[in-house]
Structure formats: structure tokens, C-alpha cells
Structure 1
């Protein structure tokens, strides 16, 4: 099965600045693929290359089995796109604009525009120029989804939306995946990617620093530990944790009047030595937490900067 999106050694330079350094990307059909990274990482540049808005300095790119340049307008009609900076102006009403765009993008089933507008709480009777940033974003989302394209390319799609509408957009992404559509989602909102994407690539300074299933970005070798102990002293548990490989950021609360000692620590690497150290006392309560996706990505950025 051919990839919905495939790039090889894709590079883009703007004068002396290199925005992308040999990007290799493969997006499976029928998946939601997350592209995450800070501002300036190369996310928007990548999306514009896929749409033939700009052209690569070197390398190869195919979208739905065609090169963007050769596919032209026919290929773009198979794609729904929401840009990161959506500029919509004019006296035309939202509904009229969407009906006009439907004639350009391809067949739109009757009632689809109204159904999507209702889901996103969008008033189609208002002139575009009077809409807030969030409502213009909703308009952009309706035009991207309304013709049920084979591929959705969404650059920060929930920007300016309130939490309830954001949740509805995530539901629409899941429905698109279930319908066999492919979604490329660019975002710096890590919780969105975590909820919606099957796979993810992390961009930093124009390079992919990690990719794979969302779960693989979690730093499995790092755990946060909180414990409540009895039958020990702060000094005893402190000495045990000092001797335990991988125990970091240890914080021990003084014994309370009821004889409890409260401990928090980070276990890096094998967790067993840290847990064994805690058995210096009797464990009354124990919590072990994985870092969230944001912590994982920040550490990946840090690793990339050190590597450079």
C-alpha cells in the first residue's frame, strides 16, 4: 500500500536559512498523523510544500500518490486544508462563501455545510468580516471537511476555539479516520495530538528528532514516585535512596506526629532499586506516574540541542 504522504530528503532553504534539513516522512492512509514542534520548527513549511504553495529546494515529495506540482488543481480538490493563519474578509455571508467554495472543491452532499456549522456553533448568516477569529476558524474547518476529502491537512486547527468546540473538532478527526480519510495534524497543543493521533513526528529546527506511535514519545525510563511510609525515619530513608541507582530529585518530609514519612522522588532507569529503597520503611501508600507528553517532548528538544 502506497503512503498517503511520503517525503524523502526534503529540504527547503530561504536564502541562507535552512528551514528543513532532509525531511523523511511517511504517513499511512487512514491514519491521523501528528506533526508537533515549537514555532520555527518547520511545521508550516512542510505543509505548504505538500500543497505546492511553495516548492522544495531539493528532495522528493508525493501526496496521495502524486507529486504536488504534477497533481495540480485535481490533487488539491482531494485535500482539505486549514492554514495556520486564516485570513477571511469581505461582505459575503459565511454560508454563501462556503457554497461558492463547494463549487471549487468538489461535490458536497446536501445538508453537509449546515450540519458541520451546527456542530461547531457557527452562524452562517453573518458577513465574514464581522466574525471573530474563532468563528473564522470554524468557517475554515467547515470548508476543509465539507467535501470529505481523502486527505486533511490541518495547521493548528483549534486555534482560537473554546474548549467545547475544540473537543468537537477532535471528534471530527476521529470520525474522519474511521471513514478512511487521512489526517495530517500540525499543532503545538500536545494534548490534542495525544488524543487524536496514531503516530507523531517531533520537529525541532527543521529536523525530526523523534517519530513513531504517540505512546513511544513517553520517556518510559523516567517515573515520578510519591510514597507515604511508616516504621522508618527521614534519615534512614534518605540514606537508602542515596544508595539507590537512578534515584533523583529526592524530597523527604519530616516525620509527622503520627509517625508518617512522606517521600517524593524521580526514578531514572530501572525502578526496582528505588522501590527497594522505600521498603526501608513500611509502605502505606505508593503512587508511580509517567511524565506527560509535554515533558517528553521538552526533553527531546533538549537532547536535540545538545546533539547539535
Structure 2
């Protein structure tokens, strides 16, 4: 029977934090050393934002608000593009994890006296930093185009908290997809379905304008209540109780499933 001494238990916590910090530093250095992937992941939402606002914004804005225009449409679609940014970044997370699994670095880590889950948490925190930078860029472009949110301090706090939960949910799900992929190429394609969900929800047009079957899917898929809650926070209104509860529930569920699945895949591959 193995017992844990008080000294060992007391030193375990700092060791875990140190290992996680080391893995986070490794992830940040990778982002700095290879910025092309981050630029591509940020570039996709920015290009789509410019296209939707300047090509479609006039017509769709008039459909949203009588006499409306591009400014009205821009105010409507920003939450959708923020979610699209997070979904795009999930591809980078899956690729990074798959590269570690296929290039042998994970085997090296397993021979070292480190807290093994810190490899995954380091990836997760690195993804949060990458997503934060990407979201700031997209929001900055939206502000430059004339977006003016009406959120107060509590609204911004709610929006930031919700985005953090979404980032963690997409990150852990993407890590599970990357760990389960047979190759880096497969990992790069697996999270792409997440990029479709903002389009197949209320991100760019109200669900009421969709055909019946598509409207049913759009109303019940995870991103729609998240986008509606985020839109309410940014416009300074109170989120609907059902939307807010659904958004929180989906985020917590996906985080739990993604985390447990990632831990299982990482352990099983040892």
C-alpha cells in the first residue's frame, strides 16, 4: 500500500503549477515562432466580416430593421463573427495537439518526471491566449467599421465570461478531436464543422427567415443560444432566461465531455 506523506502532498500543488506553466510557455513560444497559423485563423473571420458588411450588409440590414442599413446589420452579426473566430481557432488547437502526438514529443514527455495532464492544460491555456488575441483583433475591426455596442460594465463582464466558457468548450473539444486523429491532416479537418454552426444558426440572419427544417436545427443547435445571449449582453439588454441557461448548459457539457475524452485518449495512447 502506497501512502502520500504530508511533505509530498504539500509539494504536489506547486509542482503541478510549475509543470503547467512550463507547458504554457512552450505553447506561447510556438505561437510566436509560427504566427502564420494564427494569422490565417484570424484572417478568415475578418475577411468574412468585410464581405458580409460591405457586400450584403445594405440589403440584409434593411430586412432586419425597416429603413436600416449596414450599421444595423453590423450590430447584428458581430456576435456571430466572434463565435466564428473561436470556432476557427479550434482548428489550430487540434493541429497543435496532433503534431505533438505524431512527432514523438509526447513520448519524450512521458519519460520525464512531470505532471502528465499539464501537457493538455498547457495546450488549453495557450489556446485561451490565442483566442483572446484573435477576438480582440476581430472586435477591433468591427469597431473600425462603425460597430458601437451599448453594453455596460455588467454586460461586458457577462460577454467576456461567456466567451471564455465558449473558448474552453471549443478548445477541449478540439483537443479531443486532435488526440483522436490519425494524422495532422485529419486533425485539421475535424473541427471545420464547428465553423459552419454560426452560419447554420442565428449568427447572420434570424432563424425565423429559414425554411422549417433548417430553422428547427438552427434553433436547437448549441451556438444559437450562445449567440443570442452574447448579442443581448453587447446590446445592453437582459438575456432571455432560456437562452442564457441553454448557453451555459451547452458550454459546461462540452467542456466536461471534451476534457474527459481528452484525458482518456491521452492516457490510452500511452
- Could you tell me the TM-score, scaled by structure 1's length? 0.22
Q: Which has the higher contact order (CA 8 A, sep 6+)?
A: 2
Which has the larger strand fraction? 1
Question: Under a length normalisation based on structure 2, what TM-score does the superposition of the two structures give?
Answer: 0.24
Structure in which a larger fraction of residues adopt helix? 2
